[in-house]
Amino acid sequence: MTSRTFAGEASVSQLQGRVLVMDDEEIVRQVLEEALDGLGLRVDTVADSVRALEAARVAIAANDRYQLAILDLTIPGGLGGVETLRRLRAVDPSLRAIASSGYSSDPVMSNPTGFGFQATLAKPYSVTDIGRTVATALGGPGPVIDPART
């Protein structure tokens, strides 16, 4: 298992798979894309649920499904993560998901499984937070953290 070290972060083992990120903020999408790519994952990012559903359909048609979706719970003027996940699961029932939010009081953040998510990712987050959460959501043993870097 290969590991990478990011500036100011612990070393995180390489993960595998394809991830769909939905967030209305471009900078958040960019940060997640860079971090997930650095962890060995293939990443597609979208700004809203319409694009998320289209990306999922295209991925299924190409026989290259997403293993995981990271969904922002609040999308101004659009469907948030809970409803988007419901619609994504209608297309791909095996899709695993992480709820992402800057609102710690959102009930999904305290009870993700009650809303169909495997884990939560509270904003702001670090590469280490992302790696641990993604590994948990994918059902893996969790990334190896280099104690010399913590």
Domain boundaries, the chain: 14-139
Task: Give tens-digit pLDDT for 36-83.
Answer: 999 999 999 999 999 999 999 999 999 999 999 999 999 999 999 999
Taking every pair of C-alpha atoms in the chain, what is the biggest distance, in angstroms? 45
Rounded CA separation 146/150 (Å): 7
Q: Amino acid identity, residue 36?
A: L
Angle (CA) 86 66 111, round 5°: 45
Instruction: Give the integer Cα–Cα distance in Å for 38 and 33.
Output: 8
Write phi, then psi, for 14 (nearest 5 degrees): -65, 140
- Whether omega for the bond prior to residue 124 falls within 30 degrees of 0, making it cis, is yes
| Phi, psi angle pair for 24, to nearest 5° | -75, -15
Q: Is the pLDDT of residue 5 over 70?
A: no
| pLDDT for 140 | 58
pTM of structure: 0.84
Cβ count within 10 A of residue 140: 13
Q: Which one of 3.40.50.2300, 3.30.499.10, 3.90.1310.10, 3.20.20.70 gives the CATH number of domain 14-139?
A: 3.40.50.2300
